Structure 1
């Protein structure tokens, strides 16, 4: 649909196809559909899990907090394993499919367990599946798109992925309403949806093989991440992403601050993530195309500048609905300008045999930095208050952007 609309628009403006940019590959569209369906399944569970565990099973908030931390942090290092195995075997589709299948089976696992340790094991396995599939999937997207079309390809994929995140809670609400609050029905429907995504991947996604456009130099041959780190572009990109990640406050903290500082009604709180996802969905493709034209590094920095602006707006005396909407738009713009754009910047730096491993290194550096940042922000909130913690995060982010901008590390030429 997107490809057809894009071509029609270009034709209406009288632009030749070359000027309009490359079409989005079918592999990318199918992978986007797989992610959309998978996110519907995942967000169905995410939307009901707190109520199911705390209200349905009587789990204490402390125990749920520990499980939530495990659920969110179990992917970082497994991304390295998934990328390494995919590159060593040249079977990106198989490794990604294994990750998708593992997460699907875990939805059924929630029906079979009730003890906190068992639920923790199921959630950890679900996140293991996500960690395993992320780098091979992104490598397939990158290998399926030409170098000049990386931003558009990742923008289309992330837009479809976010559409699933928007639909998931709505589907969960509908299932709970129809099944009279039977959580087991939600898990069953979630499993069936995830299994359908695995089937789509198995039938319609193809591995991208053949002679790579960039052969692996002898100095970079070797096992996985160690070989990737010899690439000067990756050595610039990964630390830059990590530096910015340290000052990236988690969404949950932003929503809490938004609700407190702008005095939003409690009933509005569940809608805040939906509004952010809607902004991400609308901006992912345009900003991906802009990254292809203007440079992925500058767009990546601009996304973090939007996040810094959101922090400063939260620190300002402005209030009301307009300020709340602007914060959410800036947060959605941040994700649209960074999530897929970072992978679009990493892909062309790496030869095909190291593509998944290299992307996993960059993703893991960013994920670990964000985990450290979340811990630091939580400690700052506890001991100095939310305002002081947010001011430190905003100041650090502005300083990091200025340093990276002045150094030219993320300029288009520096990443080649």
Structure 2
């Protein structure tokens, strides 16, 4: 995230305390992630059992959602750079996410699910940049890393609590997925309320001229940045949507009621690993940790490919969570380290756009492989791509990224 998206006219003296605005944005992220995970953990089951969707259709829906969010995030970043007004855009983004929750329980066809997912992903794409811009603006440089870390930690707590709440509601509602979808609208609405009522945007400088925000500047990025983007594209091709992990849980012996447990375990491991890994990366660099993350991803793929019992499946989700904990944030940090300050916005835009397109292709391909050749094939292909990415890092360490 570029550090100069928003600048305050005057900075308050540094006190060492994380600003209240950051805490409130963390709470907003926590509530919205609870809502997202309550829907996301059960949606693949609803699509297959309730609407008769194939794995190919699920792969396309998941990939399209990522692509929509990516394109929207790119446009949101340019608009935030130009207007220097972040909170209104964040409210629109979180509001769209909350409104989408009302469509899921009403959806009687795959078309409406695509509409709801697209609305949710557009909202996510819109809100990410202005939210991070506000955090950068209110946080003194000395604690900016801690501020972003706190927001991400609270988001991870939401990712952990959401599946637990979904699991408890599935037991309470006797496996009625639609009732859980209705309940997911509550934390989504609360997230918007907290954002509107308690988040204060700092005063910003005068907006730049429109000519200062140019898509063409992405062409000026150096080879080190494009190397990171290329590696990220390969990793995203290997790490397809977690919807396929949830579908695999049924083959491993889970009943639909207990499927959310997979996401609980994954987010617990991810949350426990992310912070210490981030601390270590500040001292030793990113390359070695990224190799470990790819080893965990390959292990997750191989374990899940042949998971025929719940315990083997759980082991696969632990490996997947370790991969997320060892990789989430590292690629972004590598982009920031390799990019000149004046081109950071363009670098992140190119990064998000490229990985979004790759995830659309990767998820659609994973769905086709599952549908045509069996559920184990996309995981085996994912393992092979993970190994290729490891070899890339071992043979040609990325320039400009520590």
The TM-score range, normalised by the shorter chain, is: 0.7 to 0.9
The range that moved more, 38-47 or 277-286, is: 38-47
Quick one: structure 1 residues 326 and 26, their matched pair in 2 at CA, closer, same or farther if it must change by over 3 Å? Answer: farther
Alignment partner of 2:226 out of 212, 235, 246: 235
Q: What's the offset of the Cα at 1:184?
A: 7.5
Deviations 1:327-383 (A, max 9, x none): 222211111222233333334556778655543432232232222222333334455
Q: Which has the higher contact order (CA 8 A, sep 6+)?
A: 2
Check conservation: 1:43, 1:168, Cα contact below 8 A.
yes
TM-score, L = length of structure 1 = 0.73
What is the DSSP-based 3-state SS (H/G/I as helix, E as strand, rest coil) of the residue aligned with 1:190?
A: helix
Quick one: structure 1 residues 156 and 293, their matched pair in 2 at CA, closer, same or farther if it must change by over 3 Å? Answer: farther
Quick one: structure 1 residues 93 and 341, their matched pair in 2 at CA, closer, same or farther if it must change by over 3 Å? Answer: farther
**Quick one: distance in 1 between partners of 2:178 and 2:309?**
40
Aligned residues: 381
Q: What's the offset of the Cα at 1:36?
A: 0.5
Alignment partner of 2:155 out of 146, 152, 161: 161
Q: Which runs of 5+ in 2 are unaligned?
A: 1-15
Quick one: structure 1 residues 179 and 152, their matched pair in 2 at CA, closer, same or farther if it must change by over 3 Å? Answer: same
Whether 1:295 and 2:289 are equivalent positions in the alignment is no
TM-score, L = length of structure 2 = 0.76
Q: What's the offset of the Cα at 1:182?
A: 8.0
The range that moved more, 88-97 or 65-74, is: 65-74
Quick one: structure 1 residues 193 and 251, their matched pair in 2 at CA, closer, same or farther if it must change by over 3 Å? Answer: closer
Whether 1:337 and 2:323 are equivalent positions in the alignment is no
Check conservation: 1:151, 1:291, Cα contact below 8 A.
no
Check conservation: 2:64, 2:360, Cα contact below 8 A.
no
Q: What's the offset of the Cα at 1:125?
A: 1.7
The range that moved more, 131-140 or 269-278, is: 131-140
What is the DSSP-based 3-state SS (H/G/I as helix, E as strand, rest coil) of the residue aligned with 2:239?
A: coil
Alignment of 1:299-338 (within 5 A): 299-314=289-304, 323-338=312-327
**Quick one: distance in 1 between partners of 2:186 and 2:246?**
32
Quick one: structure 1 residues 102 and 319, their matched pair in 2 at CA, closer, same or farther if it must change by over 3 Å? Answer: closer
RMSD: 4.1
Q: Equivalent residue for 2:91?
A: 97
Check conservation: 1:79, 1:132, Cα contact below 8 A.
yes
Q: Equivalent residue for 2:9?
A: none
What is the DSSP-based 3-state SS (H/G/I as helix, E as strand, rest coil) of the residue aligned with 1:246?
A: helix
Alignment partner of 2:365 out of 368, 373, 376: 376
Check conservation: 1:143, 1:352, Cα contact below 8 A.
no
What is the DSSP-based 3-state SS (H/G/I as helix, E as strand, rest coil) of the residue aligned with 1:45?
A: helix
What is the DSSP-based 3-state SS (H/G/I as helix, E as strand, rest coil) of the residue aligned with 1:61?
A: coil
Check conservation: 1:247, 1:393, Cα contact below 8 A.
yes
**Quick one: distance in 1 between partners of 2:275 and 2:52?**
42
Deviations 1:146-204 (A, max 9, x none): 77877655443333212212222443455677678887765565334223212323344
Check conservation: 1:303, 1:334, Cα contact below 8 A.
yes
**Quick one: distance in 2 between partners of 1:400 and 1:183?**
38
Check conservation: 1:54, 1:64, Cα contact below 8 A.
no
**Quick one: distance in 2 between partners of 1:389 and 1:52?**
21
Alignment of 1:201-280 (within 5 A): 201-207=195-201, 222-232=212-222, 233-254=224-245, 264-267=252-255, 269-280=259-270
Alignment partner of 2:117 out of 117, 123, 128: 123
**Quick one: distance in 2 between partners of 1:347 and 1:142?**
14
Quick one: structure 1 residues 396 and 374, their matched pair in 2 at CA, closer, same or farther if it must change by over 3 Å? Answer: same
Alignment partner of 2:165 out of 171, 181, 199: 171
**Quick one: distance in 1 between partners of 2:88 and 2:342?**
15
Quick one: structure 1 residues 50 and 383, their matched pair in 2 at CA, closer, same or farther if it must change by over 3 Å? Answer: closer
Check conservation: 1:41, 1:190, Cα contact below 8 A.
yes
The range that moved more, 127-136 or 33-42, is: 127-136
